[in-house]
A = this chain, B = another copy of it.
Amino acid sequence: MNSISETYRPADLCEVHLTDTFWSKYTDLVREVVLPYQWKVLNDQEPGAPESHAVRNFRIAAGLESGEFYGEVFQDSDLAKWIEAASYTLAARKDEELESLIEEVIGLIEAAQQENGYLDTYFTIGRQDKEWTNLYECHEMYCMGHMIEAAVAYYKATGRRRFLDIMCRCADHISDCFGPEEGKMRGYPGHQELELALARLYEATGEKKYLELSRYFLKERGKAPNYFIREWETSRQRRTFKTGELTERPDLYYDQSHCPVAEQKEAVGHAVRAVYMYSAMADVAGKTGDEELFRTCRTLWENVTARQMYITGAVGATHQGEAFTFDYDLPNETAYAETCASVGLILFAARMQRIDMDGRYADVIERVLYNTVLASIAEGGKHYFYVNPQEMWPEASEKNPDRKHIRGSRQEWFGCACCPPNIARLLASLQKYVCSTDGRTLYLHLYLSGDLDIPAGNGKYSVKVRRQSPWSGITEIRVDGVPEGKGQIALRIPGWCREWSVRINDRIQEADVQKGYLYLKGVLPEDSIRLQFDMTPGLIQADPRVRADAGKAAVQMGPFVYCLEETDNGDNLSALRIDADTAFEKQTDAGLSDEVPMIIYNGYRTEEWPEGESLYRPYERREKRAVLKAVPYFLWGNRHPGEMQIWTRI
């Protein structure tokens, strides 16, 4: 492998002005509905929502109010993610009211910060003697990490340094406490997040020590003797502060400290922790040129995306520990598939793409965005899935405790409210995932409509991308300017796309696809590129080692995975079988929002048995013809509650 580096710079938020009607519905939702709503929740001003207390915790820590800490040990991170998302919307569009709201919160954060830079309200409110004593469970570095990400986002959006300086002081304090040097603690975060935040802080400030600290945390993790075990052994009688229960012996697989990070080959344990860590690993590998670490990232990327990822881009097969299980174990009925884990997978993909320009990273980003991310947020924007069902049988969720975590309707907010603000910050920063450049070539990943002004070399690319909708398959790209008179544009050909055509100024262009990108050389200003992807719906199968999907197929159109719902197909979806020779018909007037096409195809339904038949009887295939009607997975559960299934027998 050649020496590695972060060759491909993703667009800054301010370099991309999105005009995509499909996505702006969601990004507008974030700005107009989600952020104001979340702000109310964080301030306990939303009637009906469970108590958050997040802002009050800061007021108490700042001495502005008296009271007790309330919430999860990671309650601070809800506020941090909100500031991060709000900052992204500021980068896209100035909003003085929002800005002054954030300034006010920053003042609160500053007041809650301790003299030495420490910032975590859970400990500051009455538990200062316990700081850093339970890294395994207590999330203080996780919260500080999210706050650092928020500070970087706010700094990049506004140019104001105050919050950044606050969080630099916090990072400096962490650096004073942890590290390989004599007298420092050799610990690392129980929930990875700070590692990637420090890499962003390094990017924003140029201060190498933040990158070094991130690198230290990653290199130290999982070394023997294990820090968390020592922590647990030396304070065995200590209890988790919140519940008053005895701390259990740490599960090292759970937080990926079972062996040194560089030796990990399979994704295990808590899925969000895992993908956040892999993201930080890619950051550090790219920024330090660490080839070994990058090889590990590649191995883990392959493991996650080629062996442990649902067709919707969801990851984490089990509810127990919200965790990865093992290769090809992707049960549909009991899937956990947490929204945050998929958001983390996008973070990981984007970092890999900085080092290695390969279409498979954007393939995964696209898969996650158009399926899991969109599905997790209700059309109204105020209801969310935390767990993303890959199959839904309402009666089973109610009556079989093994499936009780699978819910058919999105919820308002959660006791553990990690997912909604995570979706908000992702949707508010979609611009980051649209294109990159290596200074010479402009790489287009996702064909969201928008105006791109991307500095490259000594000039910049000015490009207008227009598409009708994500299911039209047609993108028009108008080149207004290229650096140094002649440019190169690389167009991603999605992994799902079997046929495509590219015309430049109405002439068909022949070009090879290399690692998922079609390279157009000699692009000139005023060039007009028309890209057409075949959007014929088709059947997809899973690797035969995925037992849960054996003998089954899913329907996909473009990046959209489709599913069957009870409301269109009757109950007992397991009785349906796809006719392998079926044609597919798109029905755009099916009454779904945004004129999303429904897909109609042929199949069979097993005939019901007469009442009174015994449960088991001699085999005889008795089916009748059936018309199957599929809707995009991301829209499921927005009409009537009922069954849903992605994989159907064939």
**A interface list, Cβ under 8 A from B:** 305-307, 309, 311, 317-321, 323, 325-326, 329, 331, 333-334, 360, 393, 395-396, 399-402, 495, 498, 538-547, 550-551, 553-554, 572, 574-575, 577, 580, 606-609, 613-621, 649-650
Contact = CB atoms under 8 A, between A and B. Distances in A.
Q: Which 10 A-B pairs have the closest CB atoms?
A: A539-B619, A547-B574, A320-B401, A550-B574, A326-B399, A325-B400, A544-B606, A541-B619, A551-B649, A553-B619
Contacts of A402: 318-320, 331, 334, 402
Nearest to A611: B306
A149 to B, nearest CB: 30
A551 to B, nearest CB: 4
14 contacts: A305-B615, A311-B615, A325-B396, A329-B399, A334-B402, A360-B614, A495-B614, A540-B618, A541-B618, A545-B608, A546-B615, A547-B574, A550-B574, A551-B577
Contacts of A554: 616
A556 to B, nearest CB: 8
Contacts of A333: 331
A307 B331 CA distance: 23
Contacts of A550: 574-575, 606, 649
A615 B309 contact: yes
A541 B613 CA distance: 12
Nearest to A573: B547
A325 B614 contact: no
Contacts of A360: 614
Nearest to A547: B574
Given A311-B616, A541-B619, A395 B326 contact: yes
Given A402-B334, A551-B577, A615 B307 contact: yes
A619 B329 contact: no
A618 B547 contact: no
A334 B320 CA distance: 14
A273 B607 CA distance: 35
A563 to B, nearest CB: 14
A interface SS class:
loop
A99 to B, nearest CB: 44
B618 A326 contact: no
A366 to B, nearest CB: 13
So how many copies of this chain end up in the complex? 2
A514 B570 CA distance: 38
A292 to B, nearest CB: 22
A616 B551 CA distance: 13
A364 to B, nearest CB: 10
Most buried by B among A311, A320, A399, A607: A399
A306 B546 CA distance: 31
A142 to B, nearest CB: 23
A278 to B, nearest CB: 17
Contacts of A614: 306, 360, 495
A650 B550 CA distance: 11
Contacts of A607: 544
Given A320-B402, A325-B399, 4 more contacts: A306-B614, A540-B617, A547-B574, A553-B619
Nearest to A575: B544
B608 A541 contact: no
Given A399-B325, A543-B613, A621 B318 contact: no
Contacts of A617: 540-541
A553 B621 CA distance: 10
A314 to B, nearest CB: 12
Contacts of A307: 615
A540 B495 CA distance: 41
Nearest to A302: B612
A618 B551 contact: no
A606 B650 CA distance: 13
A309 B538 CA distance: 38
Contacts of A616: 311, 540-543, 554
A612 to B, nearest CB: 8
A544 B608 contact: yes
Contacts of A542: 615-616
A585 to B, nearest CB: 18
Nearest to A556: B616
Contacts of A540: 616-619
A618 B309 contact: no
Given A547-B572, A551-B551, A614-B495, A317 B606 contact: no
A305 B613 CA distance: 11
Nearest to A561: B616
Nearest to A546: B615
A326 B400 contact: yes
A613 B402 CA distance: 32
A44 B402 CA distance: 36
B538 A618 contact: yes
Nearest to A552: B551
A400 B309 contact: no
A550 to B, nearest CB: 4
Nearest to A606: B544
A613 to B, nearest CB: 7
Contacts of A649: 550-551
A219 B506 CA distance: 85
Contacts of A539: 618-619
A542 B575 CA distance: 12
A495 to B, nearest CB: 7
